[in-house]
Structure 1
Amino acid sequence: MSDPRGFLKVRTRREMAERPVEERIKDWFDVHAEHGAQPWTREQASRCMDCGTPFCMTGCPLGNVIPEFNDLVSQGKWEDAYDRLSMTNNFPEVTGRVCPAPCEHACVLAIHQPATAIKNDEVTIIDQAFALGYVRPMPPQRLTDMTIAIVGSGPAGLACAQQLTRAGHTVVVYERDDAIGGLMRYGIPNFKLDKHLIDKRIEQMEDEGTRFMTNMEIGKDISWDELRSRYDAVVVAIGSGAPRDVAIPGRDLDGIHFAMDFLPDTTRRLYGVQPHADISAKGKHVVIIGGGDTGSDCLGSSIRQGAKDVTVLQINPQEPLERPENHPWPTYARTYQKTTSMQEGGEYLYSTDSVSFDGLEDDLDRVDVDETSVPAGFVADSHGHVRGLKIVSVELDENGRRVHVPGTERVIPADLVLISVGFAHPDTATLLDQLPVELDGRGNVSRDAQFSTTQDGVFVCGDAGRGQSLVVWAISEGRSCAASVDKYLTGVTELPSPIAPTDRPMTLPLKALVH
């Protein structure tokens, strides 16, 4: 360690400065005003205690060797830090920006002080590496004669592709959209993840030998069984694309959309790509059902589009400010944290459920809705446009079940409703028709301990097999799946396998600490 007493000398945690709200809501650039190494970066990294048992590593499914790269940052050894980080993480430019940092929740220092700024160290390392030219192609020393198709170019598919390409296999990544990146490309707003970072990584992967095919929807442009016959192995990394819906009266009114119809179009317009649904929040009363990260992204995007106002509905109560007793250290604890979008405006209504949508016939004049009554002319008609949403407060009964609070029903104005309540399972319709695989009880693609499906030579990784999860889990799944594919093709593998398909947060095996 550069300073074994660093955590005693530096007790205050510091974050990257953000641009003023009034400035950043006028554009789609990164919300941060600082990037790369700062005068205080090395001092902050010195707060890492280099614990004998690094619980931060058990919190990270990638098995990042966090104390080592923290120590290298504290010494200003940027190339060494990048080499250490990139041994376990293919895309730190993504995790360093959008991961909720379960590693910091497991930080030993966090028991009595603010956690070590692990996430900030990670993003600083990769930003320095890009700026100083340390991110170079790593092509294989020799090529095998094995070919692999990977369907889906999200974090799981790309991590799997990069690992297998570096092992010497010929890898082709198929993406149904017009650009590579999956939800990293079109699902995460540009102010959180600038797309030039994805472009840089794709350029590196192309120089290593990975091939990319865009505008190719498997099952339509080429069948699944044909794909299997062309390649020695196929990896299904299609994500969890079937959104959860809200089954309440008036759902078929116009103006009600899923969040993942709204967010991708926002980025498409920004980059001059024709939007699919062309949904805009400009001048509208926007209501977002669901208060998670995706709901926050919808909030920030709606504000930048010029929404009249934005209301975010969260059926759960507001998270506690401190770690609750039922989430003891070092588990991941959901505590209240204002996202950058929450800092920019909008109103969050906690412990609130949606009851029904109300609408106006298209030929009627718009009528604003107050919070106590439904104006004359409101009808739940499938030919009309949504104009209001009836909501109600909820509380827990003696059995811990959510119940509506009598007398709390009211209507809020809603010209645009965005449903952001997560995803149910992957879209497997064509896969089941053309290359039948078994599904698990939740509708995800079933796999064994080696990420293999019930079809020989067909593997699955990421949300398609695990279910909706974090980007850091997707990358880890892609890396582990790559090791299984490599072993299937060659009989042995030297690729790391940080997790098993059955691993869940804070149940990681010891092997995650040694790769």
Structure 2
Amino acid sequence: MGKPTGFMEYDRVAMPSRQPDLRLSDFYEIYQRADQHVLKEQGARCMDCGVPFCQSDTGCPIDNLIPEWNDLIYHGRWRDAYERLARTNNFPEFTGRICPAPCEESCVLGINEPPVTIKSIECAIIDRAFEEGWVVPNPPTVRTGKKVAVVGSGPAGLAAADQLNKAGHEVTVFERDDRIGGLLMYGVPNMKLEKDLVDRRVALLRAEGIRFQTNANVGGDRAHHGSNHRADKIDPQDLLRDFDAILLACGALQGRDLDKLPGRNLQGVHMAMEYLWKSTQSFLDSQFQDGNYISAQGKDVIVIGGGDTGTDCIGTALRQNCKSLTNITRRSKEPDERDERHPWPGPTGTFYIDYGHAEAAARYDRDPRSYGILPKGFVDDGNGNVKAMHVSSLEWTTDENGKKVSREVPGSDRELPAQLVLLSIGFTGHDTPKLIESLGIETDWGQVKADYGSFATSADKVFTAGDMRRGASLIVWAIAEGRGAAHAIDAYLMGSSELPAPGMETGQLSSAG
């Protein structure tokens, strides 16, 4: 490395962002650019660690060459750093903003010091590459004559489409919404990922020869989360007839519900993704002037469940000027440091403050999270609207086997005021049953059955990738799945493939046909 002692000389400096109390007045990006000298120092913190666990199974699943581009940034070789980054990551402008960075949790320096700021360096590299004009359309010079349909335009579908197009196949992406991007467009709020960035990348892919068809509801399943935009039904059998291969990359958007609780059907109780989807769509369509969204203005809001989706609900409700906000979870509070259940180099499992938590603290002078809370029902205001939540407290202990167990605290029943309740408790699988049934594809607990590596479903020439195959996961895993599926489809069509895929070295790829 260029500065072997850099990790001892420089402290970690996280990606800068606008002050929480200021950014709450708009829906624009919260992040800011770091100074060049800061990024140089942060690159110098990357150790000569011998075995870079940031690239291991617990780190980056797309095999990003992290130590290499950290070193190049330290030496001021930005274009070389971009070329290294582009070899493995189709969309670093997305992962550099919204990936939770398992690479940083696996950083060797992170064993006893704050880890290297891998994510912010990645974001800075791609942002500069666009500014300098290094990112340009690069269509294939030869076409194979093979046609591939990609159903779903989230990160898995787009990554696969990009790779398959590079191999010379004619790729058409079908999206049932009115804009391309899937969760990138509507599932992630604008302040965390501005949609101009998605449109910019899609324009590049289009310029390279990929075709995009919006409002295309393959299989005829319901539109995403009650979208107001019309979608045309497309018979999957037509795709089987017209294309040489089909990739299903429809995500895992079926949210886990609390439909057994009393009062679940009251007005004002919504799935988190419905809330986020409609909010972003209305913002993009009309800056909220059309009123086609679920508003938190003036309401007591409860977000049930944590994670990124719950945090996004917090950030959105705050910007809509909610009256109060509480984030409840059954779990106990995370420890401040790794414990025996979360050894390095896996996820830390520690308490952290995300952007929405910081914003809530700025407005209400408190962290919005309440731990050990058991939802028991929703209270009717007499007119079919929710007015409160019935909850009780949980006490967490550890049994003789070291397993955490909970018990309900007697006498802890109470009501929390709420005119808007958002359910953010995970996802159970795909929400496209008609599509799956029409193709006769096998599923397993909401996931389409297909082995990792082959990505082939039980239906001839139909493949699947991303959350639809593995279950709800990280954006970087979606990209990894898309790249892997593209390699498998290319090998299926051509007999072998030279497309790079996670876990495989360029030029040493085996056939996955």
Instruction: Give the TM-score of the pair, scaled to structure 1.
Output: 0.90
Output the CA distance in 2 between the equivalents of 1:359 and 1:288.
18
Match of 1:481 in 2: 485
Match of 1:239 in 2: 251
Moved more, 105-114 or 148-157: 105-114
Q: Shift of residue 39 of structure 1? A: 2.7
| Mapping of residues 95-244 of structure 1, within 5 Å | 95-220=95-220, 221-244=233-256
Tell me, yes or no, if the aligned pair for 1:37 and 1:128 is still in contact at 8 Å. no
| Mapping of residues 452-491 of structure 1, within 5 Å | 452-491=456-495
Whether 1:271 aligns to 2:284 is yes
| Mapping of residues 363-402 of structure 1, within 5 Å | 384-396=384-396, 398=399, 400-402=404-406
Match of 1:352 in 2: 373
SS of residue in 1 equivalent to 2:218 = coil
Q: Shift of residue 292 of structure 1? A: 1.3
Output the CA distance in 1 between the equivalents of 2:34 and 2:147.
38
Match of 2:448 in 1: 445
Tell me, yes or no, if the aligned pair for 1:36 and 1:125 is still in contact at 8 Å. no
> Which string of whole-angstrom CA distances, capped at 9 and with x for unpartnered residues, describes residues 143-202 of structure 1?
110000000000000000000001100000000000000011011011111111111111
Letter in 1 for 2:219: G
Q: Shift of residue 324 of structure 1? A: 1.4
Cα distance 1:218–1:226, how it changes in 2: closer, same or farther (>3 A)?
A: same
Letter in 2 for 1:49: M
Q: Shift of residue 315 of structure 1? A: 1.0
Letter in 2 for 1:436: G
Letter in 2 for 1:301: T
Tell me, yes or no, if the aligned pair for 1:155 and 1:181 is still in contact at 8 Å. yes
Identity of aligned residues (%): 45
> Which string of whole-angstrom CA distances, capped at 9 and with x for unpartnered residues, describes residues 376-401 of structure 1?
xxxxxxxx100000111112364743
Tell me, yes or no, if the aligned pair for 1:82 and 1:129 is still in contact at 8 Å. yes
Match of 2:227 in 1: none
Moved more, 271-280 or 174-183: 271-280
SS of residue in 2 equivalent to 1:3 = coil
Moved more, 230-239 or 12-21: 12-21
Runs of 4+ in structure 1 off by over 3 angstroms are 273-277, 396-401
Output the CA distance in 2 between the equivalents of 1:192 and 1:419.
20
> Which string of whole-angstrom CA distances, capped at 9 and with x for unpartnered residues, describes residues 427-478 of structure 1?
23212331110012x2210013400000110000000000010101000000
> Which string of whole-angstrom CA distances, capped at 9 and with x for unpartnered residues, describes residues 390-431 of structure 1?
111112364743321111111000101111111101023212
Match of 2:42 in 1: 44
| Mapping of residues 22-101 of structure 1, within 5 Å | 22-32=21-31, 34-35=32-33, 37-58=35-56, 59-101=59-101
Output the CA distance in 1 between the equivalents of 2:17 and 2:35.
15
Q: Shift of residue 55 of structure 1? A: 0.7
Output the CA distance in 2 between the equivalents of 1:240 and 1:492.
30
SS of residue in 2 equivalent to 1:217 = strand
SS of residue in 2 equivalent to 1:447 = coil
Tell me, yes or no, if the aligned pair for 1:322 and 1:335 is still in contact at 8 Å. yes
Letter in 2 for 1:266: S
Whether 1:313 aligns to 2:323 is no
Letter in 1 for 2:117: A
Cα distance 1:36–1:204, how it changes in 2: closer, same or farther (>3 A)?
A: farther
Tell me, yes or no, if the aligned pair for 1:450 and 1:484 is still in contact at 8 Å. yes
Match of 1:368 in 2: none
Cα distance 1:52–1:311, how it changes in 2: closer, same or farther (>3 A)?
A: same
Tell me, yes or no, if the aligned pair for 2:266 and 2:380 is still in contact at 8 Å. yes
Letter in 2 for 1:210: I
Q: Shift of residue 36 of structure 1? A: 5.6
Match of 2:363 in 1: none
Output the CA distance in 2 between the equivalents of 1:276 and 1:351.
36
> Which string of whole-angstrom CA distances, capped at 9 and with x for unpartnered residues, describes residues 65-101 of structure 1?
1100101111121111111001001111111111111
Instruction: Give the TM-score of the pair, scaled to structure 2.
Output: 0.91
Equivalent of residue 409 in structure 1, options 413, 420, 423: 413
SS of residue in 1 equivalent to 2:390 = strand
Whether 1:256 aligns to 2:247 is no
Q: Shift of residue 351 of structure 1? A: 1.1
> Which string of whole-angstrom CA distances, capped at 9 and with x for unpartnered residues, describes residues 113-136 of structure 1?
110111111111111111111111
Output the CA distance in 1 between the equivalents of 2:48 and 2:42.
14
Whether 1:322 aligns to 2:337 is yes
Tell me, yes or no, if the aligned pair for 2:303 and 2:328 is still in contact at 8 Å. yes
Whether 1:303 aligns to 2:318 is yes
SS of residue in 2 equivalent to 1:39 = helix
Match of 1:14 in 2: 13
Equivalent of residue 420 in structure 1, options 417, 424, 441: 424
Tell me, yes or no, if the aligned pair for 1:150 and 1:173 is still in contact at 8 Å. yes
SS of residue in 1 equivalent to 2:348 = coil
Cα distance 1:137–1:283, how it changes in 2: closer, same or farther (>3 A)?
A: same
Consecutive unaligned residues of structure 2, counting only runs of 5 or more, are: 221-232, 361-366
Tell me, yes or no, if the aligned pair for 2:15 and 2:34 is still in contact at 8 Å. no
Moved more, 351-360 or 263-272: 263-272
Q: Shift of residue 285 of structure 1? A: 0.6
Output the CA distance in 1 between the equivalents of 2:89 and 2:455.
19
Match of 1:367 in 2: none
SS of residue in 1 equivalent to 2:37 = coil
> Which string of whole-angstrom CA distances, capped at 9 and with x for unpartnered residues, describes residues 318-344 of structure 1?
111111122111111221110111011
Tell me, yes or no, if the aligned pair for 1:155 and 1:184 is still in contact at 8 Å. yes
Cα distance 1:452–1:155, how it changes in 2: closer, same or farther (>3 A)?
A: same
Consecutive unaligned residues of structure 1, counting only runs of 5 or more, are: 363-383, 500-509
